[in-house]
Structure 1
């Protein structure tokens, strides 16, 4: 058999349950259903009905949430080598049929509901399902499916067997349609508090979507950054407590006696002259200038003999033990360094 040899039609009974309930007209024809029979089955009051262009629901009742999602992806997916959307060119006959949706993924509020966001409406209450496709695809918004386009399609995550946009991208697509500041703030806060993604990733997507010109989004981002810092600080406290590090002084300003202010740090060990600084910056238009300020402060402190350990919320979330080892190494190395300059440690 060559790759051009047509595949024998697969009996409908051998398809997975959802695939027996929602199918494309192309797939139905591959199973031997003629156009005339299809029209007869989809007549008013008939046992089937067309719920999207080229997509048929194989029962007369309303579609379930799962059926609506699969139908939306079937509608938007690029045709496979077999000539049918959502169908791999060489399915394994020994395994249940699993649809492969090429160049299409669920995004927006439907994606957040699939991720389990408590602040997102349930799938059953959504009038529309957003589907993300490449910019050059010739598709139109129709029925309950809204087509969103992007120059570069992100790598989807598989959630309940469906391709779903990464959380940060799904958030940006959802926020683009929301006008109520409280709803936006709840979604962004939950994304960080529940560990779905980092604040920087969310703000990056919002910036690319040109949403930071909207006042209610800016207000929500300020809350997001504050939430991200609070979560990162909790991880920092836990790192010190659980990994046997000596107690530092927390959230202090450093100043030369009679001299200039050196800047604030999140944790400081005066005897070892080691400081920890959390990088909770959100990428905005002035990010380069802010990073330059961070770099200048670090260089100044290190010229005075103070070791600065730079930690990110992501590192603290995913590699806490490793970050504790980094701080412990800096503390132990203080015995091998020249004494640091004397600095005043003041509450911040």
Structure 2
């Protein structure tokens, strides 16, 4: 059989070039190729090669990086047999769906390369391709495919027809394999600076992956949060300027006359008694995150209850506090400007607020 000719009378025109060159044993059987024919094609000097168990490259010579991605997904997407009968592999569940890989997706550095991270290594330089799979998947990592098991699969993104884990999840899986503090910091910084995701999402995934016990990861997260806040503050300035909101006081502390400190706010309109607070804290995590140094430091400083107490105290004094997250600023800036404008307009209908002293922060 010549590798330049169709493997069966059934057409392969619905497949991409890479998918025509990389097929699983089940897909080949569906196109009329027997197991004996597969073995014959893969003999030394033959036109095919078996890249992974049950996955074939239909040409001689080294596989391309794209072919390796398809091969890793085909291998990982293959379920094991269950009691009660054979299982139809996910990648051929429906007629013509040879490019469907079931419930698996690329993650780690391979995913970041597909997201075009400039500081991620090229696909050609990767020895292993990380694939996210359900924890119940019984296959083992082998060859170029490294399986990363997870209890709950995230919603995959599609890039060039391939299922890819969300950026925050891919980052966590990449960081799990890295020990170079500079590389980790550059990856996390690019994720935020490049607008791929918010710091809170990254911290959440790193915490769930139990990576915040590693000092070089914690240091990188501190830089990530500082970077995220700077970007969010810039959007906040833009919101006030571009939407014609009244000129506010920026980054001030509020205090009762002769009394206690009430806390700092990012924006304050004293004539309207309206404050805006930008919430760039790391998100509160589940009990599974116990032991992470970042979370422990946050709890030791009392950030969570202190934040709630400050907001409640200000509102009891008649000051309206508008809570804005970096994600809201990035995804719905116009909507957040409307929320703030509404709070300013409603100030005349409220009871006069308590007198507070405004100090630079």
Structure 2-normalised TM-score?
A: 0.89
Note closer, same or farther for the CA distance 1:23–1:98 as it changes in structure 2 (3 Å cut): closer
After superposing the two structures, state which structure 1 stretch, 12-21 or 169-178, moved more.
Answer: 12-21
Deviations 1:138-179 (A, max 9, x none): 111101110110111111111111111111111100000110
Task: State the alpha-carbon separation in 2 of the partners of residues 21 and 48 from structure 1.
Answer: 9
Larger mean Cα displacement after TM superposition, 74-83 or 253-262: 74-83
Equivalent residue, structure 1, for 2:126: 126
Distance 2:131 2:47 in 1: 28
Q: Contact between 2:266 and 2:275, CA under 8 Å: does it hold in 1? A: yes
Map of 2:94 onto structure 1: 89
Report what 1:5 is aligned to.
none
Contact 1:255 1:344 in 2 (8 A): yes
Equivalent positions of 1:171-190 (< 5 A) are: 171-190=171-190
Contiguous gaps of at least 5 residues in structure 2: 1-7, 81-85, 285-294
**Aligned equivalents of 1:37, 1:90: Cα separation in 2:** 23
Mean CA deviation greater in 237-246 or 15-24 = 15-24
Assess, with a 3 A threshold, how the Cα gap between structure 1 residues 254 and 76 changes in structure 2: closer, same or farther.
same
Whole-Å separation in 2 of the counterparts to 1:134 and 1:105: 10
How many angstroms apart in 2 are the aligned matches of 1:235 and 1:162?
33
Q: Distance in 2 between matches of 1:210 and 1:347?
A: 39
Tell me the secondary structure at the aligned position of residue 232 of structure 1: helix
Please give the root-mean-square deviation of Cα atoms over the aligned residues, in Å. Answer: 1.9
Change (3 A) 1:140 1:151: same
- Kindly state the Cα deviation for residue 217 of structure 1 after the two structures are TM-superposed: 0.2
CA contact (8 A) 2:79 2:137 kept: no
**Does structure 2 retain, via aligned residues, the 8 Å contact 1:49–1:59?**
yes
Aligned pair count? 336
SS at match of 1:86: helix
Cα 1:15–1:260 change in 2 (3 A) is closer
Structure 1: state its 5+ residue gaps.
Answer: 1-7, 92-96
Runs of 4+ in 1 over 4 A off after TM superposition: 79-82, 286-289
Question: TM-score, normalising length from structure 1?
Answer: 0.92
Q: Measure, in 1, the Cα distance between the counterparts of 2:46 and 2:61.
A: 11
CA displacement at 1:121 relative to structure 2: 0.8
